[in-house]
Amino acid sequence: MSSKDGKGKVTIAVSGLNATDNPGPGVPVIRALRLAMGESLEVVGLAYDVMDPGIYMDGIADHVFMVPYPSQGDDILFERLSYIHSRVHLDAIVPTLDAELFPYVRLVPKLEKLGIGTFLPTEEQLKLRSKVEFDKLAQRFDIAVPRSTPITDLNELNRLVASGAYSYPLMVKGQFYDAYVARTQPEAAMYFNKIAAAWGLPVVVQEFLVGEEYDVVALGDGNGGLVGAVPMRKTVLTEKGKAWAGITVGDPKLKELTEKAVRALSWRGPLELEVMKTARSGDYFLLEINPRFPAWCYLAAGAGANLPHACASLALGENVEPFDRYDVGVMFVRHSLDLVRPLYDLEALSTAGEVHRE
């Protein structure tokens, strides 16, 4: 991997530095890049909040820039990225958060003109995998999914339950984030309002399946092929259902399902599949496709399939050989610790919106 302007180091910007108990994927993506690239890599962290812990972690970002929230519009984001490029010359950007993907995908041609590489899905692919369109995707490509219905008001949910289409418990999900098990109508109403306020409408109602959940991190080559995939079982969950610990598994059915989904979508870029193996029948249901790396993606690098590095290489226009193996039985466990820092970084980010380290 070499820089496009011959400066010696490759500069890659990564977003999602919110390494909290509901972590963004930025820090693990950066760790995976550093694992593969060592000293030849310069990392630019793109932060939405001055308190994102990834900003303050040792050995993560060489530069940090505050960026506008996606809701502020593509032009404002592009203006900011152009400025950042003028300061540190970006070779590639790896955006890692769901809500920013549409703006970044729309900006791909403009970023290309600046010489900034990306490896992202198309707008159409993004729409097809959305929770709102998910049912249609499954029908079109014969992938088993739990029944789901997007709704825009609570009466619709009540009608669906009254008609017998759904019964409690059921899942209430946001279009970008959040999923809750509702066991009663008041619980469903509470989650509907909570999700609608946070992520907007529609909210998705989904059949509740009993079984064991597996997650797969994968990278699609954009032509229907798989660059690599690593499945894992979450062994410890946070209150929000996020993985706090996990272990890689070697179930061939998970790989088959991943290949089928990536082929169906001709997916270009990173993705995470959430799969349920039902307790009763042992059948596999695809619960969700997240259009980005999951926060546990460093496990893939640790298991010998460094998918974030492969994604960055593709963003830089390089050829990447598909991974034909990964290690089964590799586990991870998260931890939390306090980072103690002088005020300088917070000061610089709050006032100038950027911080640089030697």
List of residues contacting another protein (CB under 8 A): 212, 214, 232-233, 235, 246-251, 328-329
State which H helix or E strand residue 206 sits in: strand 203-207
Pair of tokens at residue 92: 């590639």
Burial label, 264 (beta-carbon count in 10 A; 0-12, 13-18, 19+): middle
Choose between 178 and 274: whose C-beta lies nearer to another protein.
274
Rounded alpha-carbon distances, angstroms, from residue 166 to 183, 189, 190, 207 = 12, 15, 17, 7
Nearest CB to another protein, comparing residues 8 and 250: 250
DSSP structure string for 37-86: HGGGEEEEEEESSTT-HHHHSTTS-SEEEE---GGG-HHHHHHHHHHHHH
Rounded CA gap, 194 and 131, in Å? 17
What residue has token string 């690239």?
A: 37
Q: Which is nearer to another protein, 214 or 244 (CB)?
A: 214
- Centre a 10 Å sphere on the Cβ of residue 185 and count the other Cβ atoms it contains: 13
The Cα–Cα gap between 358 and 344 comes to: 14
- Residue 248 or 306 with smaller CB distance to another protein: 248
Smallest gap, in angstroms, from Cβ of residue 321 to another protein?
Answer: 24
Which is nearer to another protein, 147 or 242 (by Cβ)? 242
- Find the shortest distance in angstroms from Cβ 330 to another protein: 10
109: nearest Cα among 129, 98, 123 = 123
Cβ at position 184, least distance to another protein in Å = 32
| CB of residue 232 to another protein, shortest distance in Å | 7
CB nearer to another protein: give 1 or 245. 245
CB of 327 to another protein, least distance (A): 10
75 vs 212 by CB, closer to another protein: 212
Q: Work out the angle between the directed axes of helices 307-315 and 26-37 (0-180°, nearest 10).
A: 80
How far apart are CB 329 and another protein at their closest, in Å?
5
Smallest distance, another protein to C-beta of residue 277, A? 8
Please state, in angstroms and as integers, the Cα–Cα distance from residue 218 to each residue in 235, 251, 333, following that order: 20, 15, 20
Nearer to another protein, 31 or 234 (CB): 234
CB of 169 to another protein, least distance (A): 24
Distance, in Å, from the CA atom of 307 to the CA atom of 356, rounded to the nearest integer, reads 27
Which structure tokens are listed for 334?
A: 């998260």
